[in-house]
Structure 1
Protein backbone atom coordinates (compact mmCIF):
# COMPACT_ATOMS: atom_id res chain seq x y z
CA UNK A 1 0.00 0.00 0.00
CA UNK A 2 2.87 2.30 0.70
CA UNK A 3 4.11 1.58 -2.75
CA UNK A 4 0.76 2.63 -4.25
CA UNK A 5 0.77 5.90 -2.32
CA UNK A 6 4.24 6.69 -3.59
CA UNK A 7 3.08 6.08 -7.15
CA UNK A 8 0.15 8.45 -6.67
CA UNK A 9 2.40 11.13 -5.14
CA UNK A 10 4.79 10.78 -8.00
CA UNK A 11 1.94 11.06 -10.52
CA UNK A 12 0.71 14.30 -8.93
CA UNK A 13 4.22 15.70 -8.82
CA UNK A 14 4.57 15.07 -12.55
CA UNK A 15 1.27 16.86 -13.24
CA UNK A 16 1.99 19.78 -10.92
CA UNK A 17 2.67 22.36 -13.61
CA UNK A 18 -0.15 21.17 -15.84
CA UNK A 19 -3.08 22.11 -13.59
CA UNK A 20 -5.65 24.60 -14.89
CA UNK A 21 -5.45 27.43 -12.39
CA UNK A 22 -7.11 30.18 -14.41
CA UNK A 23 -9.77 32.24 -12.70
CA UNK A 24 -13.27 32.34 -14.21
CA UNK A 25 -14.47 35.71 -15.39
CA UNK A 26 -17.07 37.45 -13.23
CA UNK A 27 -19.99 36.75 -15.64
CA UNK A 28 -19.37 33.01 -15.74
CA UNK A 29 -21.59 32.14 -12.78
CA UNK A 30 -24.39 34.39 -14.10
CA UNK A 31 -24.30 32.71 -17.52
CA UNK A 32 -24.26 29.29 -15.90
CA UNK A 33 -27.27 30.15 -13.72
CA UNK A 34 -29.21 31.44 -16.74
CA UNK A 35 -28.51 28.27 -18.72
CA UNK A 36 -29.55 26.14 -15.75
CA UNK A 37 -32.80 28.08 -15.33
CA UNK A 38 -33.55 27.76 -19.07
CA UNK A 39 -33.03 24.01 -18.87
CA UNK A 40 -35.45 23.75 -15.94
CA UNK A 41 -38.13 25.74 -17.85
CA UNK A 42 -37.84 23.39 -20.82
CA UNK A 43 -38.41 20.39 -18.59
CA UNK A 44 -41.68 21.88 -17.28
CA UNK A 45 -43.07 22.06 -20.81
CA UNK A 46 -42.47 18.34 -21.20
CA UNK A 47 -44.92 17.58 -18.39
CA UNK A 48 -47.49 19.96 -19.85
CA UNK A 49 -47.22 18.32 -23.26
CA UNK A 50 -47.55 14.87 -21.70
CA UNK A 51 -50.68 15.90 -19.79
CA UNK A 52 -52.20 17.54 -22.89
CA UNK A 53 -51.53 14.44 -24.98
CA UNK A 54 -53.17 12.24 -22.32
CA UNK A 55 -56.25 14.47 -22.28
CA UNK A 56 -56.51 14.34 -26.08
CA UNK A 57 -56.27 10.54 -26.06
CA UNK A 58 -58.93 10.26 -23.35
CA UNK A 59 -61.28 12.59 -25.25
CA UNK A 60 -60.75 10.58 -28.41
CA UNK A 61 -61.61 7.35 -26.63
CA UNK A 62 -64.68 8.94 -25.03
CA UNK A 63 -65.90 10.24 -28.38
CA UNK A 64 -65.32 6.86 -29.98
CA UNK A 65 -67.49 5.08 -27.42
CA UNK A 66 -70.24 7.73 -27.34
CA UNK A 67 -70.51 7.71 -31.14
CA UNK A 68 -71.14 3.97 -31.13
CA UNK A 69 -74.21 4.45 -28.92
CA UNK A 70 -75.90 6.92 -31.27
CA UNK A 71 -78.02 5.74 -34.20
CA UNK A 72 -76.24 5.55 -37.51
CA UNK A 73 -76.47 8.84 -39.37
CA UNK A 74 -76.50 9.40 -43.08
CA UNK A 75 -72.80 10.06 -43.55
CA UNK A 76 -72.69 10.47 -47.31
CA UNK A 77 -75.95 12.34 -47.75
CA UNK A 78 -76.49 15.98 -48.55
CA UNK A 79 -77.55 18.48 -45.93
CA UNK A 80 -81.15 18.45 -47.14
CA UNK A 81 -81.35 14.65 -47.02
CA UNK A 82 -79.93 14.56 -43.49
CA UNK A 83 -82.38 17.26 -42.43
CA UNK A 84 -85.33 15.38 -43.94
CA UNK A 85 -84.22 12.19 -42.21
CA UNK A 86 -83.90 13.89 -38.82
CA UNK A 87 -87.32 15.63 -39.07
CA UNK A 88 -89.15 12.45 -40.06
CA UNK A 89 -87.25 10.41 -37.45
CA UNK A 90 -88.36 12.77 -34.68
CA UNK A 91 -91.98 12.53 -35.85
CA UNK A 92 -91.83 8.74 -36.02
CA UNK A 93 -90.28 8.45 -32.55
CA UNK A 94 -92.94 10.78 -31.13
CA UNK A 95 -95.76 8.71 -32.63
CA UNK A 96 -94.13 5.47 -31.47
CA UNK A 97 -94.10 6.84 -27.92
CA UNK A 98 -97.80 7.69 -28.25
CA UNK A 99 -98.57 4.16 -29.42
CA UNK A 100 -96.58 2.59 -26.58
CA UNK A 101 -98.26 4.90 -24.06
CA UNK A 102 -101.70 3.58 -25.09
CA UNK A 103 -100.75 -0.01 -24.36
CA UNK A 104 -103.41 -1.85 -22.38
CA UNK A 105 -104.62 -5.46 -22.18
CA UNK A 106 -107.40 -4.71 -24.70
CA UNK A 107 -105.12 -3.33 -27.42
CA UNK A 108 -101.89 -5.17 -26.60
CA UNK A 109 -102.18 -7.41 -29.66
CA UNK A 110 -102.65 -4.41 -31.98
CA UNK A 111 -99.64 -2.62 -30.52
CA UNK A 112 -97.41 -5.71 -30.66
CA UNK A 113 -98.36 -6.28 -34.30
CA UNK A 114 -97.71 -2.61 -35.06
CA UNK A 115 -94.28 -2.74 -33.41
CA UNK A 116 -93.46 -5.87 -35.42
CA UNK A 117 -94.48 -4.11 -38.63
CA UNK A 118 -92.37 -1.07 -37.63
CA UNK A 119 -89.34 -3.34 -37.23
CA UNK A 120 -89.87 -4.55 -40.76
CA UNK A 121 -90.18 -0.98 -42.08
CA UNK A 122 -87.07 0.01 -40.09
CA UNK A 123 -85.04 -2.80 -41.64
CA UNK A 124 -86.22 -1.67 -45.09
CA UNK A 125 -85.11 1.85 -44.23
CA UNK A 126 -81.68 0.60 -43.16
CA UNK A 127 -81.33 -1.10 -46.55
CA UNK A 128 -82.25 2.17 -48.27
CA UNK A 129 -79.65 4.03 -46.18
CA UNK A 130 -77.05 1.43 -47.17
CA UNK A 131 -77.93 1.91 -50.84
CA UNK A 132 -77.58 5.65 -50.34
CA UNK A 133 -74.08 5.20 -48.92
CA UNK A 134 -73.00 2.75 -51.63
CA UNK A 135 -74.53 4.38 -54.70
CA UNK A 136 -74.79 8.00 -53.61
CA UNK A 137 -77.83 10.19 -53.83
CA UNK A 138 -80.12 9.52 -56.75
CA UNK A 139 -83.78 10.33 -57.24
CA UNK A 140 -85.05 6.74 -56.90
CA UNK A 141 -83.15 6.23 -53.64
CA UNK A 142 -84.32 9.57 -52.19
CA UNK A 143 -87.92 8.82 -53.23
CA UNK A 144 -87.69 5.37 -51.64
CA UNK A 145 -86.32 6.90 -48.45
CA UNK A 146 -89.07 9.54 -48.23
CA UNK A 147 -91.73 6.99 -49.16
CA UNK A 148 -90.57 4.69 -46.36
CA UNK A 149 -90.59 7.54 -43.85
CA UNK A 150 -94.08 8.63 -44.94
CA UNK A 151 -95.33 5.05 -44.82
CA UNK A 152 -94.09 4.64 -41.27
CA UNK A 153 -95.74 7.90 -40.17
CA UNK A 154 -99.08 7.11 -41.82
CA UNK A 155 -98.96 3.56 -40.46
CA UNK A 156 -98.47 4.85 -36.90
CA UNK A 157 -101.26 7.39 -37.40
CA UNK A 158 -103.59 4.58 -38.55
CA UNK A 159 -102.62 2.47 -35.54
CA UNK A 160 -103.34 5.38 -33.19
CA UNK A 161 -106.68 5.98 -34.91
CA UNK A 162 -107.57 2.29 -34.65
CA UNK A 163 -106.66 2.23 -30.94
CA UNK A 164 -108.78 5.32 -30.31
CA UNK A 165 -111.75 3.73 -32.11
CA UNK A 166 -111.32 0.54 -30.11
CA UNK A 167 -111.29 2.52 -26.87
CA UNK A 168 -114.42 4.43 -27.89
CA UNK A 169 -116.21 1.17 -28.74
CA UNK A 170 -115.21 -0.26 -25.39
CA UNK A 171 -116.50 2.85 -23.59
CA UNK A 172 -119.82 2.65 -25.52
CA UNK A 173 -120.24 -1.00 -24.63
CA UNK A 174 -119.44 -0.22 -21.00
CA UNK A 175 -122.06 2.55 -20.97
CA UNK A 176 -124.74 0.29 -22.48
CA UNK A 177 -124.22 -2.39 -19.85
CA UNK A 178 -124.74 0.04 -17.01
Structure 2
Protein backbone atom coordinates (compact mmCIF):
# COMPACT_ATOMS: atom_id res chain seq x y z
CA UNK A 1 0.00 0.00 0.00
CA UNK A 2 2.75 2.47 0.92
CA UNK A 3 4.69 3.64 -2.10
CA UNK A 4 7.81 5.67 -2.37
CA UNK A 5 6.86 9.13 -3.65
CA UNK A 6 10.07 9.55 -5.61
CA UNK A 7 9.45 6.35 -7.58
CA UNK A 8 5.83 7.30 -8.18
CA UNK A 9 6.81 10.69 -9.63
CA UNK A 10 9.55 9.16 -11.82
CA UNK A 11 7.11 6.64 -13.27
CA UNK A 12 4.47 9.32 -13.85
CA UNK A 13 6.92 11.63 -15.66
CA UNK A 14 8.09 8.87 -17.92
CA UNK A 15 4.58 7.77 -18.84
CA UNK A 16 2.81 11.04 -19.50
CA UNK A 17 3.88 14.33 -20.88
CA UNK A 18 1.03 16.80 -20.29
CA UNK A 19 0.93 19.82 -22.55
CA UNK A 20 -1.52 22.65 -22.92
CA UNK A 21 -3.83 22.64 -25.91
CA UNK A 22 -2.86 24.84 -28.80
CA UNK A 23 -4.14 28.42 -28.59
CA UNK A 24 -4.90 28.09 -24.86
CA UNK A 25 -2.73 31.07 -23.86
CA UNK A 26 -4.28 33.32 -26.53
CA UNK A 27 -7.83 32.41 -25.47
CA UNK A 28 -6.93 32.99 -21.80
CA UNK A 29 -5.48 36.47 -22.45
CA UNK A 30 -8.51 37.48 -24.56
CA UNK A 31 -10.88 36.33 -21.87
CA UNK A 32 -8.82 38.15 -19.20
CA UNK A 33 -8.89 41.41 -21.18
CA UNK A 34 -12.67 41.15 -21.59
CA UNK A 35 -13.21 40.55 -17.87
CA UNK A 36 -10.75 43.14 -16.56
CA UNK A 37 -10.29 46.10 -18.89
CA UNK A 38 -7.03 48.02 -18.74
CA UNK A 39 -6.47 50.26 -15.71
CA UNK A 40 -5.11 53.01 -17.92
CA UNK A 41 -8.56 53.88 -19.26
CA UNK A 42 -9.00 57.64 -19.51
CA UNK A 43 -10.91 59.37 -16.70
CA UNK A 44 -14.02 61.11 -17.90
CA UNK A 45 -13.79 64.89 -18.14
CA UNK A 46 -16.41 65.38 -15.45
CA UNK A 47 -14.46 63.40 -12.84
CA UNK A 48 -11.25 65.11 -13.89
CA UNK A 49 -12.65 68.57 -13.15
CA UNK A 50 -14.23 67.41 -9.89
CA UNK A 51 -10.88 66.09 -8.67
CA UNK A 52 -9.21 69.41 -9.49
CA UNK A 53 -11.95 71.34 -7.66
CA UNK A 54 -11.64 69.08 -4.60
CA UNK A 55 -7.88 69.63 -4.52
CA UNK A 56 -8.35 73.40 -4.63
CA UNK A 57 -10.88 73.28 -1.78
CA UNK A 58 -8.47 71.24 0.36
CA UNK A 59 -5.57 73.63 -0.30
CA UNK A 60 -7.73 76.67 0.51
CA UNK A 61 -9.00 75.03 3.71
CA UNK A 62 -5.50 74.26 4.93
CA UNK A 63 -4.35 77.79 4.08
CA UNK A 64 -7.29 79.37 5.90
CA UNK A 65 -6.68 77.22 8.97
CA UNK A 66 -2.99 78.10 9.09
CA UNK A 67 -3.55 81.83 8.67
CA UNK A 68 -6.65 82.51 10.77
CA UNK A 69 -6.65 79.77 13.43
CA UNK A 70 -4.21 81.56 15.75
CA UNK A 71 -4.38 85.22 16.70
CA UNK A 72 -0.76 85.13 17.88
CA UNK A 73 2.10 85.29 15.43
CA UNK A 74 4.01 82.08 15.02
CA UNK A 75 7.20 83.63 16.40
CA UNK A 76 5.49 84.47 19.74
CA UNK A 77 4.04 80.99 20.03
CA UNK A 78 7.45 79.42 19.52
CA UNK A 79 9.04 81.76 22.08
CA UNK A 80 6.34 80.99 24.67
CA UNK A 81 6.75 77.25 24.14
CA UNK A 82 10.52 77.54 24.56
CA UNK A 83 10.12 79.56 27.77
CA UNK A 84 7.70 77.00 29.19
CA UNK A 85 10.12 74.20 28.41
CA UNK A 86 12.89 76.07 30.22
CA UNK A 87 10.69 76.68 33.26
CA UNK A 88 9.90 73.02 33.97
CA UNK A 89 10.83 72.03 37.49
CA UNK A 90 13.96 70.04 38.00
CA UNK A 91 13.95 67.02 40.26
CA UNK A 92 16.69 65.01 41.88
CA UNK A 93 16.70 62.76 38.82
CA UNK A 94 17.79 65.72 36.69
CA UNK A 95 20.85 66.25 38.90
CA UNK A 96 22.28 62.74 38.71
CA UNK A 97 21.21 59.14 38.05
CA UNK A 98 22.13 58.11 41.61
CA UNK A 99 19.88 60.79 43.07
CA UNK A 100 17.11 59.67 40.73
CA UNK A 101 17.39 56.16 42.19
CA UNK A 102 17.11 57.61 45.70
CA UNK A 103 14.12 59.75 44.74
CA UNK A 104 12.38 56.83 43.00
CA UNK A 105 13.02 54.57 46.01
CA UNK A 106 11.50 57.03 48.48
CA UNK A 107 8.54 57.91 46.26
CA UNK A 108 7.79 54.23 45.61
CA UNK A 109 8.06 53.44 49.32
CA UNK A 110 5.79 56.36 50.21
CA UNK A 111 3.17 55.29 47.68
CA UNK A 112 3.42 51.66 48.80
CA UNK A 113 3.01 52.49 52.48
CA UNK A 114 0.15 54.83 51.71
CA UNK A 115 -1.60 52.13 49.70
CA UNK A 116 -1.31 49.66 52.59
CA UNK A 117 -3.13 51.98 55.02
CA UNK A 118 -6.72 50.89 55.60
CA UNK A 119 -8.95 53.78 56.58
CA UNK A 120 -11.95 53.01 58.76
CA UNK A 121 -14.40 55.24 60.57
CA UNK A 122 -12.40 54.71 63.79
CA UNK A 123 -9.04 55.86 62.39
CA UNK A 124 -10.25 58.44 59.83
CA UNK A 125 -9.47 61.46 62.04
CA UNK A 126 -5.93 60.21 62.71
CA UNK A 127 -5.41 59.44 59.02
CA UNK A 128 -6.67 62.89 57.95
CA UNK A 129 -4.24 64.58 60.36
CA UNK A 130 -1.32 62.71 58.85
CA UNK A 131 -2.51 63.49 55.32
CA UNK A 132 -2.49 67.21 56.17
CA UNK A 133 1.12 66.88 57.37
CA UNK A 134 2.06 64.92 54.23
CA UNK A 135 0.51 67.60 52.05
CA UNK A 136 2.51 70.30 53.85
CA UNK A 137 5.70 68.30 53.24
CA UNK A 138 4.70 67.83 49.61
CA UNK A 139 4.25 71.60 49.18
CA UNK A 140 7.67 72.15 50.74
CA UNK A 141 9.13 69.60 48.31
CA UNK A 142 7.64 71.57 45.39
CA UNK A 143 9.19 74.79 46.72
CA UNK A 144 12.56 73.08 47.03
CA UNK A 145 12.20 71.78 43.45
CA UNK A 146 11.51 75.31 42.26
CA UNK A 147 14.61 76.50 44.12
CA UNK A 148 16.60 73.72 42.48
CA UNK A 149 15.31 74.89 39.10
CA UNK A 150 16.10 78.57 39.75
CA UNK A 151 19.47 78.31 41.48
CA UNK A 152 20.74 75.03 40.12
CA UNK A 153 21.84 72.06 42.18
CA UNK A 154 23.69 72.72 45.40
CA UNK A 155 24.38 70.57 48.43
CA UNK A 156 21.85 72.32 50.65
CA UNK A 157 18.92 71.95 48.22
CA UNK A 158 19.70 68.33 47.35
CA UNK A 159 20.00 67.37 51.03
CA UNK A 160 16.78 69.24 51.84
CA UNK A 161 14.93 67.34 49.07
CA UNK A 162 16.21 63.98 50.30
CA UNK A 163 15.38 64.86 53.93
CA UNK A 164 11.87 65.86 52.87
CA UNK A 165 11.36 62.46 51.26
CA UNK A 166 12.73 60.73 54.39
CA UNK A 167 10.40 62.75 56.63
CA UNK A 168 7.38 61.80 54.51
CA UNK A 169 8.30 58.12 54.66
CA UNK A 170 8.94 58.26 58.42
CA UNK A 171 5.61 60.02 58.88
CA UNK A 172 3.88 57.16 57.09
CA UNK A 173 5.70 54.60 59.25
CA UNK A 174 4.50 56.44 62.37
CA UNK A 175 0.96 56.53 60.98
CA UNK A 176 1.12 52.80 60.32
CA UNK A 177 2.37 52.12 63.89
CA UNK A 178 -0.32 54.30 65.43
CA UNK A 179 -3.02 52.62 63.35
CA UNK A 180 -1.79 49.20 64.49
CA UNK A 181 -1.79 50.37 68.12
CA UNK A 182 -5.29 51.80 67.72
CA UNK A 183 -6.46 48.57 66.10
CA UNK A 184 -4.94 46.43 68.86
CA UNK A 185 -6.49 48.60 71.57
CA UNK A 186 -9.92 48.40 69.96
CA UNK A 187 -9.64 44.60 69.65
CA UNK A 188 -8.66 44.25 73.33
CA UNK A 189 -11.68 46.28 74.47
CA UNK A 190 -14.03 44.08 72.48
> Which has more helix, going by share of residues?
1
TM-superposed deviation, 1:73: 6.4
The two structures have a TM-score, normalised by structure 2, of 0.50
Does the CA contact (< 8 Å) of 1:76 and 1:132 recur in 2? no
Aligned partners of 2:148, 2:101: CA distance in 1, in Å? 15
Residue in 1 that maps onto 2:68: none
Structure 2: stretches of 5+ with no match in the other structure: 1-88
Number of aligned residue pairs: give it: 101
Does the CA contact (< 8 Å) of 1:121 and 1:152 recur in 2? yes
Does the CA contact (< 8 Å) of 2:90 and 2:148 recur in 1? no
Instruction: Verify: 1:142 aligned to 2:158, yes or no.
Output: yes
Query: Which of 125, 132, 139 is residue 109 of structure 1 equivalent to?
Result: 125
TM-superposed deviation, 1:141: 0.7
Question: Which stretch of the first structure deviates more once superposed, 157-166 or 128-137?
Answer: 128-137
The two structures have a TM-score, normalised by structure 1, of 0.54
Instruction: Verify: 1:88 aligned to 2:113, yes or no.
Output: no
Does the CA contact (< 8 Å) of 1:76 and 1:133 recur in 2? no
Which one scores higher on RCO, CA 8 angstroms, separation ≥ 6?
1
Secondary structure of the structure 2 residue equivalent to 1:104: coil
Residue in 2 that maps onto 1:27: none
Structure 1: stretches of 5+ with no match in the other structure: 1-71
TM-superposed deviation, 1:76: 3.8
The runs of at least 4 aligned residues of structure 1 exceeding 4 Å deviation read none
Residue in 2 that maps onto 1:154: 170
Query: Which of 144, 154, 178 is residue 128 of structure 1 equivalent to?
Result: 144
Aligned partners of 2:159, 2:94: CA distance in 1, in Å? 16
